[in-house]
Structure 1
Amino acid sequence: MADYQEYRRRILHRRWRRIFITAALLILLVLLAAVGVLWKRLHREPAPNTAQGPTILQQELTGSEWNTISYTPARRLSVQTLDNGMTAMDFRLAAQPASPAVERSSFSDVSFLGDSLTQGMQLYDTGLPNAHFCAYKGVGPNAVVNNTTCRRADGEKEVPMEALASQQPRALYILLGTNVLTADSDYTSFLTYYRLMLDMISQALPNTKIYVQSITPVRPEVRKKSPGLYKERLCEINDALSAIALEKGCTFLNLWEALADENGDLIEEYAQPDGYHLLPAGYDAWVDYLCTHT
């Protein structure tokens, strides 16, 4: 019996010794991991200062997409002062004034960037079919910024920035916004993407004159199906676009001068049944405006 008790004490002793060794090893591993983390924090290289040297593209580009969350829209705007002393806070005041008309043939070496509204400029004889076009149905400035592959009117696919870089036009006319503003919601993201897009284009096309065209007017009934497309809101957004254009050194064009009636609605004779796309007569008026605002 005494031998059995001695044997049991030895087994328990060995068991507790194994438990103690295992616990000690676990504690040691935890301590080593903590020391390793602390060592890395103390000896890692400091992050580079992005405020010195890199361009806007390098500061804002993260991976393959633009970081619109960290991109601040709160930059100081250089507001244009007109000859009569008024400041261009209203998009109608910020717009390029009229100038002597040029021939339509002078647009053969310019490009147009836009959505289905711009596609009509390409397809109708009353437009400018001899110009170059990067026009894609349903796109907004985010598609340009994120290098999205888009489908042209002829069915071919391309990346807008790659197409523009290959064209290197004398001038570029931009009209984007209708497709991404149909909901009556906050449009800060739209303006942020627009800023980023202009930065990208300016760097890719350093010798190109950039025209930012106002979002076009619509018929009153459009608001029933697209709550965000009504004249008061579009005027407000155009005010912001005109300020961005001036800030970025672009020329702002007020298409409402050519397409809106006295109430600020799209002229009925220019409107397709949907209330915002244009008939050939609308493109004719649009081109006439461009010819006298170069």
Structure 2
Amino acid sequence: MSNFKRSLYTFLLVFTCLFASPFIWWQIWKTGKEQKPSKTPDPPAVGAQAKSGNSSQSEPEKDTAEKPTGADGSETPTSADGTQPGTAAAPTEAAAVSTEPYNGFILADSSYFDDALFIGDSRTVGLRDYGTLKNADYFCSVGLSATGITKNNEAVDGVTFDTKIDGKHYGKVYIMLGINEVGNDLEGVITYYRAIVEKVKAHQPDAIVYVCANLRVSQSAETSVISNTSINTLNSMISQLADNKKVFYIDINALFDDGTGYLTEAYTFDGVHPLAEHYPDWCDWLCSKAIPYYAAN
């Protein structure tokens, strides 16, 4: 290679280094700056407290759950237990379980009823007139109801319920009411029925209280007003008044049912009341539902 060409190559190399190198270095610096990651603080550990000189200034986490709103779009207030006003909280498991039937009944003779009081309607009248428990007291009449006793202070033979319940000391009180008001609002009926139970407990604190199921009617006697569906519903409500300590629930229907949930046609003359000849059987059944003294005290 001649000296001229060597000099030319040297000149071009020097020229390239002088003018191209700054541009190349600038591109390298720019590219490196764009790709350099920004430093991101590590997220705090779960449950860790923020390190701040003034913790009261930290903003609490906002509740993002949807709030109940009224018809106008405003937020509906809730009570302390989280329910909206006018609504009931879901019952607990303990509250939802009904009282188990009592299984400690024993057999007694008719003397068990010497200190007993029977409160009831025309069916109890039949028990008094045609039954075998003659030493018991009775507060009963045709058409008597829990509503009549509690709300209207209805009397029997001129004697009010309050006077009767305070007349003497009773060891057992039997309440057989409801058939005359089974076509009414049952919530109202059970309210009046419960008031009778509470009054008996208050005025006769030593007495065992029997709340008795209403006898169902025969299929031919069932109507839209007096139906076994309503009778069963009321009986279920009555059973909830029992605590198996002082108040006990008993159900006579098994003795008279025809096997399909109706009063046996052959046992009744009108589909509602048993024939007179069957009341002694009712009394024998009551003798099988005695409560041992120690169980009720």
Q: Is the 8 A contact 1:198 1:248 kept in 2?
A: no
Q: Is the 8 A contact 2:122 2:142 kept in 1?
A: yes
Cα drift, residue 121 of structure 1:
1.0
- Taking every aligned residue pair, what percent have the same amino acid on both sides? 23
Paired amino acid for 2:181:
V
Question: How many pairs were matched up?
Answer: 200
Q: 2: distance between equivalents of 1:235 and 1:147? A: 26
| 1:150 corresponds to | 155
Q: Is the 8 A contact 1:147 1:160 kept in 2?
A: no
| 2:225 corresponds to | 228
Paired amino acid for 1:287:
C
Q: 1: distance between equivalents of 2:279 and 2:94? A: 32
| Deviation digits for residues 67-89 of structure 1 (CA, Å, limit 9, x no counterpart) | xxxxxxxx999779xxxxxx657
Match for residue 255 of structure 1 among 252, 256, 267: 252
Cα drift, residue 281 of structure 1:
3.1
Change in Cα spacing, 1:254 to 1:146, as seen in structure 2 (3 Å) is: same
Q: 2: distance between equivalents of 1:204 and 1:77? A: 33
Structure of larger gyration radius: 2
| 1:67 corresponds to | none
| Deviation digits for residues 171-230 of structure 1 (CA, Å, limit 9, x no counterpart) | 00110001111x3x5311101111112111111111111000001111112223xx2322
Change in Cα spacing, 1:254 to 1:77, as seen in structure 2 (3 Å) is: farther
Change in Cα spacing, 1:285 to 1:95, as seen in structure 2 (3 Å) is: farther
Q: Is the 8 A contact 2:117 2:139 kept in 1?
A: yes
Cα drift, residue 106 of structure 1:
2.2
Paired amino acid for 2:193:
Y
SS in 2 for 1:263: coil
Query: Which residues of 2 match residues 159-170 of structure 1 at below 5 A?
Result: 159-170=160-171
Cα drift, residue 242 of structure 1:
0.4
Q: Is the 8 A contact 2:208 2:246 kept in 1?
A: no
| Deviation digits for residues 206-263 of structure 1 (CA, Å, limit 9, x no counterpart) | 1111000001111112223xx2322222112211110122399410001112222211
| 2:51 corresponds to | none
Match for residue 263 of structure 2 among 249, 258, 266: 266
Q: Is the 8 A contact 1:139 1:180 kept in 2?
A: no
SS in 2 for 1:198: helix
| Deviation digits for residues 104-160 of structure 1 (CA, Å, limit 9, x no counterpart) | 232121110111110111111x34222110112211112222362423xxxx31101
Q: 2: distance between equivalents of 1:274 and 1:244? A: 30
Gaps of 5+ in 1: 1-74, 81-86
Paired amino acid for 1:108:
D
Q: Is the 8 A contact 1:115 1:175 kept in 2?
A: yes
Query: Which residues of 2 match residues 127-138 of structure 1 at below 5 A?
Result: 127-138=132-143
Q: 2: distance between equivalents of 1:235 and 1:175? A: 14
2:214 corresponds to 1:215? yes
Cα drift, residue 282 of structure 1:
2.6
| 2:234 corresponds to | 237
SS in 2 for 1:246: coil
Q: 2: distance between equivalents of 1:112 and 1:240? A: 20
Q: 2: distance between equivalents of 1:187 and 1:196? A: 14
Paired amino acid for 2:160:
V
Match for residue 118 of structure 1 among 104, 124, 130: 124
Alpha carbon RMSD of aligned pairs, Å?
Answer: 2.7
Q: 2: distance between equivalents of 1:119 and 1:77? A: 41
Tell me the TM-score normalized by structure 1. Answer: 0.61
SS in 1 for 2:202: helix
Gaps of 5+ in 2: 1-90, 291-297
Q: Is the 8 A contact 1:122 1:133 kept in 2?
A: yes
Paired amino acid for 1:283:
Y
Paired amino acid for 1:239:
S
Q: Is the 8 A contact 2:179 2:231 kept in 1?
A: no
Query: Which residues of 2 match residues 64-143 of structure 1 at below 5 A?
Result: 88=98, 94-97=100-103, 99-124=105-130, 126-143=131-148
| 1:37 corresponds to | none
Richer in helix (by share)? 1
